[in-house]
Chains A and B, each alone.
Chain A
Amino acid sequence: MKNILTGLLLFLIIVITGFLLLNTADTPKTTEALLTKYQEKRVTKADHSGFAQLNKKFNSPQEVTRECITCHNKRDEQVMNSSHWNWEREEYVPGKGIVYLGKKNAINNFCIAVGESELSCDKCHIGFEPAGTQRKFTDAENIDCLVCHDNSGTYSKGANMGGLPDPKLDLSEVAKSVGRPGRDNCGSCHFFGGGGNNVKHGDLEKSMLAPGSDIDVHMGTDKADMSCVDCHKTTDHKMAGKMYTLSSMNTDRSYCEDCHTSSPHENTVINEHSLKVACQTCHIPVYAKENYTKVFWDWSTAGKLKNGKPYIEEDSAGNDTYMSIKGSFIWKKNLEPEYIWFNGTATHYVSGEEIKDTTRPLVLNRLYGSYDDPDAKIVPVKIHRAKQPFDPVNRYLIQPKLFAQSIGEGALWKDFNWKEAAAKGMEYVNLPFSGEVSFLNTEMYLPVNHMVSKKEDALKCTDCHTRDNGRLAKLTGFYLPGRDYSGVVETAGAGLITLTLLGVLGHLGMRIYSSRKNRNAKV
């Protein structure tokens, strides 16, 4: 009895010590507190509708900007230092040194490059460059304050007007409404990148204007109802968080940890994952939840005409599968991201760079990172694949002239002549063109950061920790418990256990047999 009691006591001590040792996790910062904070309604600091200087007829959008600067002086300088204005950033790239990178000189995997197509492309520039003016990015009057600060919901840029607003707008009404940028301000460009809703990102599209929390737990109007600038915190018109389609350095980023801390889970083992796994990896199990996103764009088929006229083909879901001006597309919805190692640095293919290896797809923005890199984590990405025009003699990508106002100016979208469009476009960017147009497979990596799911919908352990077909099946070169094993050890171990079992059974059989024999012998 005494023994049993001592045994029980010892057992209890051991169990309690065990649990105490294991329960050393940090107390998680409650998401409830964050939810309350962001659900509070913001009060506008200044009501611009009462300002007399805005209560007049504006003849041009530049007049509005002048009026803004009279009070908000120096703000124009901040804006003119921003990448939203300059369309380029100063970046340090390992192996290249300091480079100036942006829409001006990087090649993207969608409409290729801005080139001579400003009249069309500039509707997503925060400035006014009307037809005939040379883009200088130096004139403060050409800053478009309203596109970001309009709170009336009426402001919009005109089509192919070089960034000028729709002439029918009442600019005074817009000016009187200004305030903190809302989702529709950011979304008017960022949701339509690549030339249509959700073409580019997959996780940024018009459903994010008023999503349910099942689509995005942060922006869901039934939950936290956060706007873009709640996370993309801005000081002096510089925003945190940027897209690696055009960024190279691990700076000015916006992290989940900024609000959620680096140990938000109650389970220590899950918190430890954050050393190697980005939050997004588990918490964005699927993207493009509401609308389709473009995953493949084949420029090589562009230019076909029916009865001499360009045409469009649609699939049953209403997505364009072919456009004479742009080629063929594949669209996908409810996509599982692909996964890569990423340390926050990247390098980009820029205009005129020679492509040495044409047997593999050209990666337009190579994201660096590997398992061995202590700064790298596994992140989810959308990989947009394409076939882009390529000069096989000069071995660089072609930047064709896509847009023009009328036929006969050599634009692909008007004349449907690849060689002519290539010649015009390359002349504009001052690069020799051989006269030959072939096509090259290209890839662009877009980290998926939005459309964070509810925690119940996050990935489960066995989505990755599984022998076959896990989410990380393609990410090899490191040992992942549950997925990886040593084939030799596995075979030897199974062999050892089989032999032991056989030995035991054989021995037992012989014992039974011999004991019977011995018994019979005695009788």
Chain B
Amino acid sequence: MKKVLIYKGFERFWHWTQSVLIIFLAITGFEIHGSFSFFGFENAVKYHNIAAVILIVLIIFAIFWHFTTGEWRQYLPTFENLRGQINFYLLGIFKGSPHPFKKTTLSKLNPLQRLTYLGLKLLVIPVMVTTGLLYLYYRYPQNTKIEALNIDSLAPIAILHTIGAFLLVAFIIAHLYLITTGESVTSNLNAMITGYENLHDEHNTEERSVNTENISESRV
């Protein structure tokens, strides 16, 4: 075991800022949606719009960071060991089996995480940003008098935005829970706060698949 810097400074800053913003957007967003009243409608709209712009700027920085550091490769999907990961959450975890996936700095996301985060990055977040911007500016193309640019109804925009919001809230709930399923209950949380986590030595990575396959046998 070795203490390794797994989440760099910007990554942690990006993660926490994004999490605060998304939770804040969810609260203000569902108030605008009419689900409850907390800040007051006018404030909710104002705060939601400001937080949205900050989040978009943050996303632009994050995209830049991912490409310049090559970290985007962390999200390349793999189906290898996907079943193993699912089995672990469904069965292994209750039996005290070891994690099927061994984190390394080059591959720090398990196959399920890779798929989920890729889905967020390629689908949910782009849909939220696009529908969010359309929500704010959909009326303006009408001034150009170009028929094709006219958006006649806010309904599809707003409803897509709502679907995305429900998905994100469900994601946050699952995510908050799943961070307790690391090596210890707090190890994942600690890693995202301090950046450091105790990882198995790099040369163990090659044995990863062997390990997974051996789980059931080792428990017998």
Bound complex: CA A19 to CA B49 (Å): 10
Check A236 for interface membership: any CB of B closer than 8 A: no
Interface segment among B102-110, B111-119, B163-171: the answer is: B163-171
Bound complex: CA A101 to CA B159 (Å): 46
Type the 1/0 row for A506-522, where 1 means its CB is closer than 8 Å to any CB of B.
01101100110010000
Bound complex: CA A374 to CA B54 (Å): 32
Minimum CB–CB distance from B87 to chain A (whole Å) comes to: 14
Minimum CB–CB distance from B111 to chain A (whole Å) comes to: 19
- What residues of chain A lie closer than 8 Å to B170, measured between beta carbons? 496-497, 500
Type the 1/0 row for B60-103, where 1 means its CB is closer than 8 Å to any CB of A.
01000000000000000000000000000100011110000000
Cross-chain contact A14 with B58 (CB below 8 angstroms): yes
Cross-chain contact A489 with B166 (CB below 8 angstroms): yes
Cross-chain contact B94 with A508 (CB below 8 angstroms): no
- What residues of chain A lie closer than 8 Å to B177, measured between beta carbons? 504, 507-508
Interface segment among A5-13, A167-175, A390-398: the answer is: A5-13
Minimum CB–CB distance from B167 to chain A (whole Å) comes to: 7
Type the 1/0 row for B149-181, where 1 means its CB is closer than 8 Å to any CB of A.
000111100110011011101100110010000
Q: Which size bracket describes the interface of B in this complex?
A: 35 or more
Check A486 for interface membership: any CB of B closer than 8 A: yes
Given contacts A482-B32, A482-B41, contact A15 B158 (CB under 8 A): no
Interface segment among B9-17, B122-130, B206-214: the answer is: B9-17
Minimum CB–CB distance from A291 to chain B (whole Å) comes to: 33
B residues touching A (Cβ–Cβ < 8 Å)?
A: 9-10, 12-13, 17, 32-34, 37, 40-42, 45-46, 49-50, 53-54, 57-58, 61, 89, 93-96, 139, 142, 152-155, 158-159, 162-163, 165-167, 169-170, 173-174, 177
Cross-chain contact B166 with A10 (CB below 8 angstroms): no
- What residues of chain A lie closer than 8 Å to B42, measured between beta carbons? 267, 460-461
Cross-chain contact B53 with A21 (CB below 8 angstroms): yes
Interface secondary structure of A, over-half rule: helix
User: Mind listing 9 A-B residue pairs with CB under 8 Å?
Assistant: A6-B10, A17-B54, A18-B54, A269-B49, A478-B154, A486-B155, A486-B159, A500-B173, A514-B95
- What residues of chain B lie closer than 8 Å to A500, measured between beta carbons? 170, 173-174
- What residues of chain B lie closer than 8 Å to A18, measured between beta carbons? 50, 53-54, 57
Q: Which size bracket describes the interface of A in this complex?
A: 35 or more
- What residues of chain A lie closer than 8 Å to B153, measured between beta carbons? 478-479
Check A196 for interface membership: any CB of B closer than 8 A: no
Cross-chain contact B41 with A465 (CB below 8 angstroms): yes
Bound complex: CA A518 to CA B17 (Å): 39
Cross-chain contact B61 with A269 (CB below 8 angstroms): no
Given contacts A478-B154, A481-B154, A486-B159, contact A467 B34 (CB under 8 A): yes
- What residues of chain A lie closer than 8 Å to B173, measured between beta carbons? 497, 500-501, 504
Given contacts A17-B57, A462-B37, A500-B174, contact A10 B13 (CB under 8 A): yes
Given contacts A374-B142, A465-B41, A481-B32, contact A510 B94 (CB under 8 A): yes
Cross-chain contact A481 with B54 (CB below 8 angstroms): no
Check A485 for interface membership: any CB of B closer than 8 A: yes
Cross-chain contact B94 with A514 (CB below 8 angstroms): yes
8 smallest CB-CB distances across A and B, nearest first, come from A493-B166, A3-B9, A461-B41, A514-B94, A479-B155, A7-B13, A18-B53, A18-B54
- What residues of chain A lie closer than 8 Å to B57, measured between beta carbons? 14, 17-18
Cross-chain contact A461 with B45 (CB below 8 angstroms): yes
Bound complex: CA A292 to CA B12 (Å): 65
Q: Name which of A7, A14, A460, A486 has the most chain B CB atoms within 10 A of its CB.
A: A14
- What residues of chain B lie closer than 8 Å to A461, measured between beta carbons? 40-42, 45
Query: Which of A467, A489, A497, A515 interacts with B163 by CB under 8 Å?
Result: A489
Q: Name which of A2, A460, A496 has the most chain B CB atoms within 10 A of its CB.
A: A496
Cross-chain contact A22 with B169 (CB below 8 angstroms): no
- What residues of chain B lie closer than 8 Å to A510, measured between beta carbons? 94
Minimum CB–CB distance from A351 to chain B (whole Å) comes to: 39
Bound complex: CA A497 to CA B9 (Å): 32
Cross-chain contact A22 with B50 (CB below 8 angstroms): yes
Residue of A nearest to B162 (CB): A489
Query: Which of A11, A269, A272, A496 interacts with B13 by CB under 8 Å?
Result: A11
Bound complex: CA A465 to CA B41 (Å): 8
Bound complex: CA A494 to CA B163 (Å): 11
Bound complex: CA A493 to CA B168 (Å): 10
- What residues of chain A lie closer than 8 Å to B165, measured between beta carbons? 493
Check A159 for interface membership: any CB of B closer than 8 A: no
- What residues of chain A lie closer than 8 Å to B49, measured between beta carbons? 22, 269
